[in-house]
Structure 1
Amino acid sequence: MFKVHPRVQGVSPKLIDLYQKVDPSTIGHMTDFGFLKGLKPFSRPIRFVGNAVTVRIPHMDSTAVHKALELVEAGDVVVVDMSGDDQRSCWGGMVSYAAKAKQVAGVIISGCINDVTEILELELPVFSLGVSPLTTRILGIEGEINTIVSVCGVSIHPGDLVVASDDGVFVINPKDAEEYAITAIQKQDAEIEMKKQIDAGVSLAHLSGAEKYFR
């Protein structure tokens, strides 16, 4: 059975603009939640921010992935939950070509990818668990689109904000995202001044507060 739910636009242009200035690792100073630990960027440098379109497939059957590419809009991030299959690829050159044509911002795969050369040539930003020549097939068994999925232990809802950089991937409910972004930008701006003080001879331990534990 296939379940296709309407695309959810959860991310506002304001959030997209805010998070263009935020690295996931800066958010890592504030929370342990929402990080897709274990995924690796297919190439570097890499950076994208976008609205999640989610897909869940049953291991071998990637029929729903192809259908989802009809629903995505420019700036979306395709997020594929492969139901625990970390050995097989559901994402290759042809789906990458279709995604690039739809101007997706990036792709998140909880399994492997293939057609390395084609994806590199397309310059499509992709995070995955690795590369594999063992692929899925169009079997018409089942799948779900724009449903809650699980990637690396993180629940991702359609319309969630996805933020990816060379440091990794962070996913958050748009309702909670602005507060984190503002704090992260303030922290990143403060680091500019800290570097100036280090250049002036002030110790990092003093600036960070670490020295108090050595008194």
Structure 2
Amino acid sequence: MTSAPLSAETIKNFMYASTATVSMQMLKRGFRNTAVSGVRPLNPKATRMVGPAYTLRYVPGREDLDKPPSPNDPPHAQNKAIEETPEGHVLVIGTEGNLRSGTLGDILALRLKVRGVAGVLSDGGMRDTPVIGNFDFPVYCVAAAAPPSMNHLHPVEVQTPVGICGVAVYPGDVIVADGDGAIVVPRHLADEVARDSFEQERLEKFVAIRVGQGKPIKGTYPPNDETKKLYQDWIKAGEPAGG
């Protein structure tokens, strides 16, 4: 596990590729349980999200521990996550699927945004979704929930493995998200998966052009030697939109 930032090249490659493509690259490496299903972006115009995971784990709340906040409260794990998630990282919030309370609201989400955090991924609910939905900031969750987190949740720790919709996320794993959801990539595989995802996405862009021109699937997708040769010629020509 590492908190080292991703290279600009790896981020660029992941941002170019869809999560569908990244999931295929993970499958080629034997990973079948990497797709976080059921989460959706609050702002459909702010969906692309790439960054290492910084994790926050909640457990079910208890009345003697979870009360309305006051200025004199000692710091807890949520405070730590809001102020210490590194720039360019994704705050990943595990709640055991609790949808009765929001894990964050608009003010905390705004704080993450202005600090340069790459986005938020939660398997729980989110408060103030109409406001967050206007942010140019990727926030993924399962549902809207008006009650504050302390209604039903207790923040216990940061930077520990969490389960998000049945998928394990370890601190430092790379989160790649778009409108289809999110994919979790182990950090030690991130550079090669990003590189191969870029290449697959570019090839499929060319294939889609060919199919749109009326070419049959056989020999085009997956590409045969002739199509691969045409693909290399297309790259050398500067990847023209018309193929």
Q: What TM-score do the two structures reach when normalised by structure 2?
A: 0.75
1:159-199: CA deviation from partner (whole Å, max 9, x where unpaired): 11111111210111121122222222222121233233324
Q: For residues 141 and 134 of structure 1, do their structure 2 counterparts lie closer, same or farther at Cα, with a shift above 3 Å needed?
A: closer
Q: For residues 42 and 203 of structure 1, do their structure 2 counterparts lie closer, same or farther at Cα, with a shift above 3 Å needed?
A: same
Q: For residues 181 and 139 of structure 1, do their structure 2 counterparts lie closer, same or farther at Cα, with a shift above 3 Å needed?
A: closer
1:81-110: CA deviation from partner (whole Å, max 9, x where unpaired): 013313321111121121122111100111
Aligned with 2:93: secondary structure? strand
1:149 is displaced (CA, Å) by 0.8
- Gaps of at least 5 residues in structure 1 are 1-6, 210-215
Pick the aligned partner of 1:12 from 6, 21, 24: 6
Instruction: Tell whether the 8 Å contact from 2:14 to 2:197 is kept in structure 1 after alignment.
Output: no
Quote the RMSD (CA, aligned, Å): 2.6
- Gaps of at least 5 residues in structure 2 are 70-75, 223-243
- Higher gyration radius (CA): 2
Distance 1:181 1:146 in 2: 24
- Alignment correspondent of 2:137: 124
Q: For residues 57 and 96 of structure 1, do their structure 2 counterparts lie closer, same or farther at Cα, with a shift above 3 Å needed?
A: same
1:28-65: CA deviation from partner (whole Å, max 9, x where unpaired): 22323311111111121311111211010113359422
Instruction: Tell whether the 8 Å contact from 2:95 to 2:153 is kept in structure 1 after alignment.
Output: no
Pick the aligned partner of 1:192 from 189, 198, 205: 205
Q: 1:38 corresponds to which letter in structure 2? A: G
- Alignment correspondent of 2:20: 25
Identity, % of aligned pairs? 24
Aligned with 2:206: secondary structure? helix
Which deviates further from its counterpart, 68-77 or 106-115?
Answer: 68-77
Q: For residues 27 and 122 of structure 1, do their structure 2 counterparts lie closer, same or farther at Cα, with a shift above 3 Å needed?
A: closer
1:27 is displaced (CA, Å) by 1.9
Q: How many residues align?
A: 204
- Alignment correspondent of 1:164: 177
Instruction: Tell whether the 8 Å contact from 1:53 to 1:79 is kept in structure 2 after alignment.
Output: yes
1:57-83: CA deviation from partner (whole Å, max 9, x where unpaired): 113359422221121122111001013
Q: 1:118 corresponds to which letter in structure 2? A: V
- Alignment correspondent of 1:41: 41
Aligned with 1:150: secondary structure? strand
Aligned with 1:56: secondary structure? strand
